[in-house]
Structure 1
Amino acid sequence: MPNPYSTSQRLFLGWIEFSYRHAAWILLTLLLLAVIATGYTARNLGIYTDTADMLSEDLPFRVNLARFNESFPQYDETLLLVLDAPTPEQAHQAATRLTAFLQAAPASSGEIYHLSGEEFFQINGLLYNDPDELAQLADRLSAAQPLIARISRDPTLHAFLEVLNEAIEALRTGRELELAAILRDVATTLKANESGTRHPLSWQALFQEDDRKTSYREFITLKPELDFEQLFPAEQIISTIRDAVRELDLEGQYATQLRITGEVALSHEELNSAMLGAQDAGVIALICVAVILFVALRSIGSVITVLVSLMLGLMLTAAFATVAVGHLNLISIAFAVLYIGLGVDYAIHLLLRYAELAKDHRPGTEILLIAGRDTGRSLIICALTTAIGFYAFTPTDYSGIAELGVISGTGMLISLVVTLTAVPALQRFLPVKAEALHKRTITSWLATHWLRKPRAVLLVTLLTALASATTLPYVQFDHNLLNMQNPQGEAVRTFRELLADKDHTPWFGAIPAHSLQKAEQLTRELAQLPEVNKVISISDFVPTQQTEKLALIDDIALTLGPDFFAEIPQRANAHPIEQQQAILETLQQSLERFVAERPEHPTSSAAYELSTTIGALRSRLAALNPPQSMALLEAINQDLLGLLPDSLERLQKALTAEAVDIQTLPESLRVRWQSATGDYLVLAYPASNIDDNEALRRFVRTVQQHAPQLSGTPAIILEAGDAVVNAFIQAFALALIGAVLTLLWLLRSVASTVLVLIPLLLAALFTVTATVVFHIPFNFANIIALPLLLGIGIDSSIHMVTRSRHHRLTGHGLLHTSTARAIFYSAMSTMAGFGSLSFSTHLGTASMGLLLAIGVFFILVCVFLVLPNLLQVLDRTSMTINKRESGA
């Protein structure tokens, strides 16, 4: 009698039988392979975190970026240190000390740049003020000249309070002095001391600024040398910086808080959250899948069988990733969780069909071969179509996703081979029993409730699909990389804070120009655009109206007199306690008299505030013993006058300014704006917060009209996002074409192919609609959902259509089969695997898991609601036609 099986089926069944009969040797061989694979992977698999290299170098924006990085490498891969302090002096001192420390630290090799710490800007800084601002400074310093002169000679609390008292008395006599700011600042400093905190008096703010800020900021830029072969390339430099802050005691000495951000810190935080997210998701997925398997199979042995098969396949897939790619990236790192969600499907189908047949009490080998025969074809088709869904990523320009496609696509084929090898072998020792099947399952419940009115169900589905199609124009892609990261991370929070500040936004357009004239022309053109806040090139570091400004600076120096430029003595608060207490009392009385006599004067409120504060201070001093009183007065002396020497020294330097031109700019500044190849850099800063996608697009597209060579982060993320969208349109098309061709080849039927695709395309449509309804925009991570769901979702349709076609089942009969149960529990395990990713702190990974889980849910709904009803309607229609034909 001829063999009823084809050559491929005989090979397929022969392999299952061989694995079953030689179970011990098969399992030992698989275990040995797994051990070797794990060891090889642990030694050789790396993590590559340079996200800029995840897109093709041939894309126009990558070409612009390469040119920009070649001309101005100091802007690529940087850390930004943000130091905040209560006063500008404290912020500057802390930044200066930290810069010097890091420059001397071997572990922080690379370029360190502290703009305001440059000697050039300390000398010529006043030239960058407007003439009106310089005139106001001249007026303030002229009025403060007596105070500055007295305190410079005798920087003690007693002398300072004496000068204040004389100024108040002068106000009482009718002189016009601007004392409100200093009185209010002195009161603030004394109150802070009373509350146990420190808020030194800022003399720089008094001299140069009208507005009082609660915090002052300094920036340090670092370009560290990073090793992308290391798991965390920036970990060493970030640790070095934090160790330096502790060693220098910046918080204790200067009340300065340090925050680290910039693209390197953002990448470091993203890698941390992605790694931890994948790790946690893997554990959650494994636990959830184990629970679902137990509910499905009702057998600990069967659960062990599936999990052993799963882990063997995962180890071999990791080894393949090591050989074929050599590393994981921030996206392909999720392959393990995807594998856990998908890798159990083949075993579930095989074991549930085995359990369904086991009730006939046939020999184990015979049952296994029949189960393999019944499920084998659909398993092979599913493995191929799922692999195609992943492989569709590989021809795209998005190499980060292409690597995930290669690894996971091959992983699906490995999973099939391992399942057909390990599961039969383990059935020799842990066979599934017929009693493990549920008598009633959710699939039988669906058969009872959802198959009564198939035409109504199909009509509702059609109307829902039409309504869903209307949402397609509202589908969005989120270009903002920050929205993919953990929002609680220090680097992200700091970066977003800076983005909201138009003057210090770290996202700007970078434009190389071939000549200085072209740079100046671009500067003028871009400055006129409403989308641009300001434009800077090297020419902007040559101050305008220098003659007028230098004259004003000379007038200030002349007003302060030659004694001002003498070295400021460091003098302790040596006056006796009684003398200091007496001057406090005198000052308080003068303030009280002034307030009583001139209540409407603009300075009265500040005078009253200081008078009250001094009264509280005197009460504190009265309650202390002499040593404690002296310690308190010394602390107040330090708070009020500690920053004066630094302020006066910086002012002394600023009053020695000289004329500036491009040739006299320091080399450290010139190299940041003029490359060795002759390019000049132009930076365009956005007028709006481009943390918003629409503002980002407007800014980039407007600037590109004038400068097509635009680079910088805004242009990169916008162009990268558009390239990714195009890549996934291409991937989806390839996945669909590949799936259709595979189905036609293996099913040999156009009708069956269409039946398989209908629920799949409906699920894809509903998933896209869900992104609009639930405000889950596509991004660089979750956009893999659609082509991936095409490969994943087709499995369920294939199993259902194949079972229906080969056993001539529709409706109730189809939903009561082991195939329906296997589809349901496979989908549940897939949803658990993908859904576990949604708990990741990395929002890109979380959105990918959520969107995939939503997609699998819709696949489940369409396969169990739409497909059985469609099959039922087609079957009834076919029967009606046959009856008419037979009657005719």
Structure 2
Amino acid sequence: MTSSSSSSYRFFARWAGISYRYAIWIILLILVVVTLGAFYIVNNLGVHTDTTDMLSEDVPFRANHIRYLQSFPQYEDTLLLVLDAPTPEQAHIAAKRFTRYLQDDVAQFPSTYYLTGEPFFEQNGLFYKDLSELSRITDYLAAAQPLVARLADNPNLFTFSSVLTDAVEELRKGRKLELEPVFSGISATLDARLAGKSRALSWQALLGGEEQKDTYQELIIVQPKLDYSQVFAAEGPIDAIRTTAKGMGFAPDATEKLRITGEVALAHDELNSAMHGAQDAGLLALIMVAVVLLIAFRSAGAIFTIIVSLLLGLLLTAAFATVAVGHLNLISIAFAVLYIGLGVDFAIHFLLRLEEIRKPDQTVPEAVYKTGGDMGQSLLICALTTAIGFYAFMPTTYRGVAELGLISGTGMLISFLITVTMIPALQRFFPIHIKKSSRSVRSINKILDLPRRSRKLVYSVTIIAVLASILALPHIKFDYNLLNLNNPHAESVQTFQELLEDAEDSPWHINVLVDDVQQIREIAQQLRILPEVKRVISILDLVPEEQEEKSLLIEEMAMILGPVSFSTTAFLIPSPHTVSEQRMALDQLRTALNQFVTENPEHMSVLPARALEGSLASLIAKLDKPVLESGEAKEQLLFTVNNDLLSLLPGSIHRLQLALEAQPFEQEALPASVTELWHGNDDVYRIAVYPSENINDNDALRRFVRAVQKITPNATGVPVISLEAGEAVVDAFFHAFSLALIGVILTIWIMLRSAASTLLVLIPLLLAALLTGAGTVFMGLSFNFANIIALPLLLGIGIDSSLHMVYRSRNTGVGYENLLHTSTARAIFFSALTTLAGFGSLIFSIHQGTSSMGQLLTIGLLLTLVCVLIILPILLQSASDKREITAS
């Protein structure tokens, strides 16, 4: 037992007594210091949201990425704009319009790349197609040329229907014409119009012999100017893009849509969802914590004392962070969460012990003096061990966690100082009530007493749980996918995941830097044979092969098309044909299709022809309905159908004519705006390696990265960074926990001076860690970049709770039953409840990383509570029984 005459008892007892005696001056001094600290925080504390700065530049993969960004700075901090439209022509036009806006605002958008819209690629695009594809386009163009030529003279619905009727008649006569894409495209366009929607007919798809898809996309890469002094560094550029897009008509329900994704947008949405999720969870946590404290103390003064102490300690810790580090990052900002979770434990233990000590015939100063002596050393040991656990993260290469360790470790020492100083001082004004046996206390004691009657059962269940946990440990997973941390409903996340599904042009690809052209050939050849690689692109691929053969086909296309031209006003004037004439032309086409389908039931064009016949029948039926009796209504319907079918034809022909002027070229002909994307400013070359799988899956990501790294160890890019950063984090936490465990063991042994007591403190901690790891496996919860931050908190809570129990048992000599009826057990119970209430609410956050942190904390805290309040007391009782047997 601890004697009231021991030096540590007297030291902390006097400390508490002085704080109480000079309460006004102590409180004023602390308030002055905190106020000055608050002013210093406001004027000097910055926030760094750039996640790459959290990793040491000495780590190889980080060094590779830095070199890549130095060679190609235009790829750093980019937005990816996705323009969706029902046709490739409309998507191209919309992307060109928006690119012009971005390029005009150089101050806010220094770099903009719309590669498909580059004049060089618009003119030479046909050279990048295969010979077989060019041959197919030549055939389709030859078949479509009569239609195009007649429409150039009379671009209206009557001419279009008449020419198509002639084509169907040729099909009936046995001529081989591939009209399936034409029939399908027209049918889909008419069906959309009849449903009240607009779906223009893509002539680019028709002339290429392709089936028109529902949606086409164009991608624009933008490098915005970011302001890292602001929490939301990209808010300005993103808001400007959205405002301009809305002004241009790119709305979610419009024909053309613009969506924003890319690394900057993903980081912006992640921070936004994390902060909003924390706000919502914080409000819920505040209410729940207040309820738990009210149940524990039934005193507004006690609750006020705890909250004031927490706020003062939190501000002092933030002031230290400002002085020592100067900024917070997305990892170290969690110090507040960790401080509240652990700091409230110190306050609860002190006040509940004070409540237990205070007797009716005892004055408040005497109770405060005795509580300071009883609790001072145990709180100091808890503060030291928890601080050491945090400080162990400082030597790691994960800078974000290292800064968190420094701030939170010092925060634990600050929390100790505030607890043993401020709480006794506040007792002068808000004294704790004299302890009364309450229903809640009796209920808690009954709950804690239950395991005492089934000691063998507890041992058996514990052994089974340990064995099961050991078997489950190899299945613990770390989720390297940064997308899985974000709000799954955010536009940037959904758009990015959609792009990842297309392995042909995945935004997550690997970049390899080489020094000369010969290396490009060698490395590209090795990479292309890997099954994990879909395609490899370098500057050499910008000069297509077989240009002479392709040039001959392009010249043939130009001769087939001829000098076709369209009047710019042709589509603005009403049709020269009457409604009756246009209806008749449509009906003739429908009749021709019906005859073709009847006569050739096995023909490959039957299904699209039947679909088009049905669409024409519906259109004609609508024209004949009484609701459209007025001639103007019928003319308007036919005018919109005319535009749907023919409005994109002139632009498509113009772009085709431009492409037909292409001539063979060499690498020297590539424009600087293109070569700078592949040939860096320090004379290095970039090779882009695309995956054959959707690397949104962790296993696919690992396969892809490791396969490429075997050939090019210096490879970089988001896939490499995600995998390597994840492994770096796991490695950092493993080494940090190893150091922390060693430091904690030494500290406990030095302070308690007993190997047996040290072992008893560690057993619940190790048991809880083992069971928590297994719990994540059984619940399908993976560790990730966010929830792994919860581990220091669980470590601190586990150490503190176990220490308090062992210290109370050892230094007061209470047995199993009495130990569970003390303020120590109740303090552990209520501390766990407040932490559960506070951080369990994180489960409801829209940010998946924060939500997973809440899940992990809930699992870990519940298991820690079981180990400390059920298993540890039984171990203490067994150890006590052995000592009694030995003594007898």
How do 1:147-546 and structure 2 match up within 5 A? 147-251=147-251, 255-438=255-438, 440-441=441-442, 443-546=444-547
For 1:615, the equivalent position in structure 2 comes to 617
> What is the distance in 2 between the residues matched to 1:591 and 1:249?
38
Distance apart, 1:566 and its partner CA: 7.3
Distance apart, 1:121 and its partner CA: 0.9
For 2:772, the equivalent position in structure 1 comes to 767
Q: Residue 280 and residue 338 in structure 1: after superposition, are their counterparts in 2 closer, same or farther (change >3 A)? A: farther
Distance apart, 1:436 and its partner CA: 4.9
1:516-564 CA-to-partner distances (Å, cap 9, x unmatched) read 1101111111001111111111111111111111001111111222x22
Q: Does 1:741 align with 2:746?
A: yes
Q: What amino acid maps onto 2:483 in structure 1?
A: L
> What is the distance in 2 between the residues matched to 1:60 and 1:472?
29
For 1:701, the equivalent position in structure 2 comes to 706
> What is the distance in 2 between the residues matched to 1:761 and 1:785?
16
Distance apart, 1:733 and its partner CA: 1.0
1:557-582 CA-to-partner distances (Å, cap 9, x unmatched) read 11222x22677663423313333233
Q: Percent identity?
A: 51
> Which stretch has the larger CA shift, 163-172 or 225-234?
163-172
1:146-177 CA-to-partner distances (Å, cap 9, x unmatched) read 00111122222222122122223333344333
Are 2:110 and 2:223, in contact at CA under 8 Å, matched by a contact in 1?
Answer: yes
> Which stretch has the larger CA shift, 424-433 or 704-713?
424-433
Q: What amino acid maps onto 1:234 in structure 2?
A: A
Q: What amino acid maps onto 1:865 in structure 2?
A: I
Q: What amino acid maps onto 1:765 in structure 2?
A: L
Are 2:149 and 2:564, in contact at CA under 8 Å, matched by a contact in 1?
Answer: yes
1:373-414 CA-to-partner distances (Å, cap 9, x unmatched) read 111111111111122222221111111112222222222222
Distance apart, 1:852 and its partner CA: 2.3
Q: Does 1:590 align with 2:595?
A: no
Distance apart, 1:443 and its partner CA: 4.7
> Which stretch has the larger CA shift, 828-837 or 226-235?
828-837
Are 1:183 and 1:606, in contact at CA under 8 Å, matched by a contact in 2?
Answer: yes
For 1:789, the equivalent position in structure 2 comes to 794
Q: What amino acid maps onto 2:783 in structure 1?
A: F
Structure 1: state its 5+ residue gaps. 884-888
Distance apart, 1:316 and its partner CA: 2.1
> What is the distance in 1 between the residues matched to 2:823 and 2:250?
68
1:830-862 CA-to-partner distances (Å, cap 9, x unmatched) read 222222222222222222232123222222111
> What is the distance in 2 between the residues matched to 1:841 and 1:40?
33
Q: Residue 404 and residue 437 in structure 1: after superposition, are their counterparts in 2 closer, same or farther (change >3 A)? A: farther
> What is the distance in 1 between the residues matched to 2:364 and 2:637?
91
For 1:750, the equivalent position in structure 2 comes to 755
SS of the residue corresponding to residue 690 of structure 2 reads: strand
> What is the distance in 2 between the residues matched to 1:95 and 1:436?
74
> What is the distance in 1 between the residues matched to 2:320 and 2:841?
24
1:634 pairs, out of 617, 636, 639, with 639
For 2:56, the equivalent position in structure 1 comes to 56
Q: What amino acid maps onto 1:517 in structure 2?
A: Q
Q: Residue 285 and residue 37 in structure 1: after superposition, are their counterparts in 2 closer, same or farther (change >3 A)? A: farther
> What is the distance in 2 between the residues matched to 1:500 and 1:566?
40
Q: Residue 609 and residue 851 in structure 1: after superposition, are their counterparts in 2 closer, same or farther (change >3 A)? A: closer
Are 1:107 and 1:236, in contact at CA under 8 Å, matched by a contact in 2?
Answer: no
> What is the distance in 1 between the residues matched to 2:770 and 2:403?
26
Q: Does 1:683 align with 2:688?
A: yes
1:696-721 CA-to-partner distances (Å, cap 9, x unmatched) read 11111111111111111111111111
SS of the residue corresponding to residue 511 of structure 1 reads: strand
> Which stretch has the larger CA shift, 867-876 or 305-314?
305-314
> What is the distance in 2 between the residues matched to 1:746 and 1:181?
83
Distance apart, 1:442 and its partner CA: 5.1
Distance apart, 1:4 and its partner CA: 5.6
SS of the residue corresponding to residue 163 of structure 1 reads: helix
What value does the CA root-mean-square deviation take over the aligned residues? 2.1
1:647-670 CA-to-partner distances (Å, cap 9, x unmatched) read 111110111111121111121110
Q: Residue 875 and residue 9 in structure 1: after superposition, are their counterparts in 2 closer, same or farther (change >3 A)? A: closer
SS of the residue corresponding to residue 869 of structure 2 reads: helix
For 2:100, the equivalent position in structure 1 comes to 100
TM-score normalised by L of structure 2: 0.96
Are 1:756 and 1:797, in contact at CA under 8 Å, matched by a contact in 2?
Answer: yes
SS of the residue corresponding to residue 530 of structure 1 reads: coil
Q: Residue 252 and residue 480 in structure 1: after superposition, are their counterparts in 2 closer, same or farther (change >3 A)? A: closer
Q: What amino acid maps onto 1:479 in structure 2?
A: Y
> What is the distance in 2 between the residues matched to 1:839 and 1:611?
53
> What is the distance in 1 between the residues matched to 2:236 and 2:358?
60
> What is the distance in 1 between the residues matched to 2:29 and 2:252?
62
Q: How many residues end up aligned between the 2 structures?
A: 880
Are 2:140 and 2:209, in contact at CA under 8 Å, matched by a contact in 1?
Answer: no
Distance apart, 1:106 and its partner CA: 4.9
Q: Does 1:853 align with 2:858?
A: yes
For 1:114, the equivalent position in structure 2 comes to 114
Distance apart, 1:782 and its partner CA: 2.1
Q: Residue 612 and residue 699 in structure 1: after superposition, are their counterparts in 2 closer, same or farther (change >3 A)? A: closer
SS of the residue corresponding to residue 534 of structure 1 reads: strand
1:778-801 CA-to-partner distances (Å, cap 9, x unmatched) read 112222344442232111111111
> What is the distance in 2 between the residues matched to 1:37 and 1:277?
28
Are 1:90 and 1:254, in contact at CA under 8 Å, matched by a contact in 2?
Answer: no
Are 1:803 and 1:819, in contact at CA under 8 Å, matched by a contact in 2?
Answer: yes
> What is the distance in 2 between the residues matched to 1:787 and 1:348?
20
1:821 pairs, out of 814, 826, 841, with 826
Are 1:341 and 1:832, in contact at CA under 8 Å, matched by a contact in 2?
Answer: no
Q: Residue 393 and residue 253 in structure 1: after superposition, are their counterparts in 2 closer, same or farther (change >3 A)? A: closer
Q: Residue 261 and residue 647 in structure 1: after superposition, are their counterparts in 2 closer, same or farther (change >3 A)? A: same
> What is the distance in 1 between the residues matched to 2:352 and 2:556?
94
Are 2:771 and 2:863, in contact at CA under 8 Å, matched by a contact in 1?
Answer: yes
Q: Residue 569 and residue 126 in structure 1: after superposition, are their counterparts in 2 closer, same or farther (change >3 A)? A: farther
> Which stretch has the larger CA shift, 494-503 or 607-616?
607-616
> Which stretch has the larger CA shift, 348-357 or 456-465?
456-465
> 4+ residue stretches of structure 1 with deviation over 4 A?
3-9, 251-254, 565-569
> What is the distance in 2 between the residues matched to 1:617 and 1:459?
78
> What is the distance in 1 between the residues matched to 2:819 and 2:648?
84
Distance apart, 1:5 and its partner CA: 4.2
For 1:574, the equivalent position in structure 2 comes to 575
> What is the distance in 1 between the residues matched to 2:361 and 2:291?
28
Are 2:765 and 2:799, in contact at CA under 8 Å, matched by a contact in 1?
Answer: yes
Q: What amino acid maps onto 1:676 in structure 2?
A: N
2:604 pairs, out of 598, 602, 605, with 602
Q: Does 1:841 align with 2:846?
A: yes
Distance apart, 1:25 and its partner CA: 3.3
SS of the residue corresponding to residue 544 of structure 2 reads: coil
> What is the distance in 2 between the residues matched to 1:19 and 1:552?
94
Structure 2: state its 5+ residue gaps. none
Distance apart, 1:426 and its partner CA: 1.9
> What is the distance in 2 between the residues matched to 1:501 and 1:441?
62
> What is the distance in 1 between the residues matched to 2:209 and 2:847?
42
Are 2:109 and 2:222, in contact at CA under 8 Å, matched by a contact in 1?
Answer: no
For 1:886, the equivalent position in structure 2 comes to none
SS of the residue corresponding to residue 535 of structure 1 reads: strand
TM-score normalised by L of structure 1: 0.96
Are 1:454 and 1:870, in contact at CA under 8 Å, matched by a contact in 2?
Answer: no
Distance apart, 1:42 and its partner CA: 3.3
SS of the residue corresponding to residue 470 of structure 1 reads: helix
How do 1:56-75 and structure 2 match up within 5 A? 56-75=56-75
